[in-house]
Amino acid sequence: MFLHILNYVFTEHTFGIIILLQGEKMMEDRIIFHIDANSAFLSWSAVNALQHGAPVDFREVPSIVGGNQATRHGIVLAKSIPAKKYGIQTGEPIIQARQKCPSLLVIPPEYYVYMRCNAAMCDIVKDFSDRIQVFSIDEVFVDYTGMEKILGDAQAVAHQIKDRIKNELGFTVSVGISSNKLLAKMASDLKKPDAVTTLYRDEIEEKMWVLPVRDLYMVGAATEKKLAKMGIYSIGDLANSEVEFLKDKLMSWGEVIWCFANGIEDSPVKPGGAIPYVKGVGNSCTIHFDVEDRETAHKVLLSLVETVGMRLRQGAFCAKLVQVSVKTSELKTYSHQRKFYVPTDCTNAIFEEACRLFDEVWKGEPIRHLGVRVSELCGNDFVQLSLLENNYEKQRQVDRAVDDIRIKFGSFSVFRAGFLHSRLSPLQGGIVEDFPAMTSIL
């Protein structure tokens, strides 16, 4: 609209100056929204069902969205508020959840509904800014900087967005407002459902520092434990620690989380973001002999994960959910899945989890076919800044180097030593599920 034209003129004529100004202004003066759909999968399925005449609103009864009831190892992907009252948790096995609440309603995932809801949510948001980044299927970042001169106060507009989504699309969102993406994301988490919360730099102390350190985005169980040993329990404790001390204990990861605790983060809102259009990356293979030992099975998993990891990284995604599926020589199939607390794109991290899942589910029968699949994708924006728990940082560098070599010299130019003299292929081709047109991007 009006602003686009204006922007263009400016950059045409005073390009250098604008860049300079923005560089200086960037950190403090931006206005960023993070819009997060509340219990997205569950409420989206609920609204869709109501629209098609369902007699109950899933949001008002104990209900969960859970992967595939046929395979008994499905886990809870999302839960209603009444289900939460039974102590049901996201990520726990469905059987366990059913024990807590026998009348539990289990709704299968409906990805086409989720994608439609995501697109509809973005359509509304686009009326308020042209700079939006789809971060995951239920999260959008919006750069509202400059728009306040045309559309008005950020908080009032955030309320408008939230209310329009509620009235037109039938589900609620939480909106966080701040001067960077990380704080906006933390803010949307502070109050839900159906809320607008600000978390500007001068509000950090009062609103964020009081929270346990585990609530800081990207801090998982392993980091939490290490921090506890240093006497750091709250986000405030972390923010007020000596950064040199943290670097000494946790290397560069220490500095990253110290910055986060102090609200320092300056990644731009990247328009586009193809995340919701790909629901997952999967890879599976039929093995030309029956696998009867754990070690060989793990090797096959590694060959599958190698490609999955590479595809994830090429798409600039991280995954929150891993699933392993096994088909025995008698064609019995079962699968097992688990959620990562912190999203990852690291081959070794996915591989370790895949092995753990395999070990838990395999009963020792000869195996004919194995599959690994990651889903619940989100952007890798915060991960990229450095990474991760368990010193995955080095492994990430290795991942990147290996990816580069393979892209340049071919898939088989470098492979893990474990595959030398084995009957197995060191990596198996990856498939991007459901949306073949996307393979060119991934």
Partner 1 sequence: MKVYMKPVKMVAWFTENGVPTPVRFQMKEDDKEFLTIKVGNISERKEEKLAGNRMLIYRCQSEIEGTEKVYELKYEIGTCKWYLYKI
Q: Which residues are catalytic?
A: 139
- Give which of partner 1, Mg ion, none residue 183 binds (C-beta under 5 to 8 Å, depending on kind): none
Identify the CA nearest to 415 among candidates 302, 293, 314: 302
Binding of residue 398 to partner 1 (CB under 8 A): no
Between 375 and 386, CB nearer to Mg ion:
375
Binding mask 158-187 for partner 1 (x = CB under 8 A): ----------xxxx----------------
Could you tell which of Mg ion, partner 1, none binds residue 165, using a CB distance below 5 to 8 A set by kind? none
Residue among 337, 285, 349, 341 nearest 312 (CA)? 349
C-alpha–C-alpha distance, residues 430 and 373, integer Å: 10
Closest CB 117 distance from partner 1, rounded Å: 5
C-alpha–C-alpha distance, residues 185 and 95, integer Å: 32
Q: How far is the CB of 167 from partner 1 (least distance, A)?
A: 10
Pairing of strands 317-328, 367-379: antiparallel
Tokens of 54: 């369902």
Residue 15 phi, psi dihedral angles, 5° rounding: -50, -55
Q: Which residue lies nearer to Mg ion by CB, 181 or 336? A: 181
User: Please, what is the minimum distance in Å from the beta carbon of residue 50 to partner 1?
Assistant: 7
- Per CB under 5 A, which of residues 35..74 are in contact with Mg ion? 36-37, 40
Is residue 93 involved in binding partner 1 (CB under 8 A)? no
Residue type, 105: L
Q: Per this entry, what is the length of the chain?
A: 442
Min dist. Cβ of residue 174 to Mg ion (A): 8
Nearest-angstrom CA–CA distance, 280 and 283:
10
**197 within 8 A of 173, measured Cβ to Cβ:** no
Q: Please, which of residues 219-238 interact with partner 1 by CB under 8 A?
A: none
Q: Which listed option, partner 1, Mg ion, none, makes contact with residue 259 (CB within 5 to 8 Å by class)?
A: none
Q: Which does 116 bind (CB under 5 to 8 A by kind): Mg ion, partner 1, none?
A: partner 1
Tell me the β-bridge partners of 244: none
Radius of gyration of the chain (CA): 23
Q: Which residues bind partner 1 (CB under 8 A)?
A: 44, 47-48, 50-53, 55, 113, 116-121, 168-171
